[in-house]
Amino acid sequence: MSRTVWCTCKSHCLLFNPETQSYEGEGQLIPKSTAANHQLDDRLSQTLDNFSANVAARILRHSPPPDAAEEVVHSPADDHNFVLEAEILQRCTWTLGDHPLVFAVDPPPSLEYRYPTVDEAHLCNHGLYALLPGNVANTVYLENESRLCEILTELNRRHPIGRQELMATKVHEGLMIMRRHKEMEWNRQRTWSIARSHGYSVVDTGELTQIFP
């Protein structure tokens, strides 16, 4: 039974054409487990789109015409939440695409990637799958992950309910998308390790990993 399938997800395998405002391409042949994760990312993307619409609606609803501005009073907490929601939206919809990452330790052939537990979700660059600090390839990823973890820690400290609970959920989803990218990088580099352990040479072209006997 084939372990690979054609994936036509919008999150990873199709290309968005800004001129036609549509997703194009044939997709990619990838492992079934990865395709299942891509489908989850598509659903998360739709959830984030809905979150974006809610944020925009709130901002518009709280932006009165100039002649009525003096009649509206915003509390500091409201203003803080508006800014925080906008930042969460921006950071959770950000993506690295096919950008490679550099791990602190080369992925061993026998070690599969493991997602952080619930208790570890707020920890940035933690554990066996940590990226190499200071490496320019990791800078943007680590900055975004660090800030999302900081926001999640802040929200958890407040024991969030209602609006803040929704924000915490979106941060979890944004971190999950980032960590799926890390899983893909881990598996790609594990493939190198497995090939080399069997005496093959590996060439990474940036878009494709080629293995030669």
**Secondary structure class of 209 (helix, strand, coil):** strand
The mean pLDDT of the chain is 77
**Secondary structure class of 130 (helix, strand, coil):** coil
Half-sphere exposure of 48 (CA within 13 A, CB side): 25
What pLDDT digit, counting tens, does each position of 22-64 carry? 778 888 888 877 777 777 666 655 655 555 555 555 544 444 4
Q: Is the pLDDT of residue 206 over 90?
A: no
pLDDT of residue 23: 76
For strands 201-204 and 209-212, give the pairing: antiparallel
pLDDT of residue 14: 77
pLDDT of residue 161: 80
pLDDT of residue 62: 47
* Confidence bin at 212 (pLDDT 50/70/90): very low
- Full-prediction pTM beyond 0.85? no
- Tell me the mean pLDDT in the region 142-166: 90
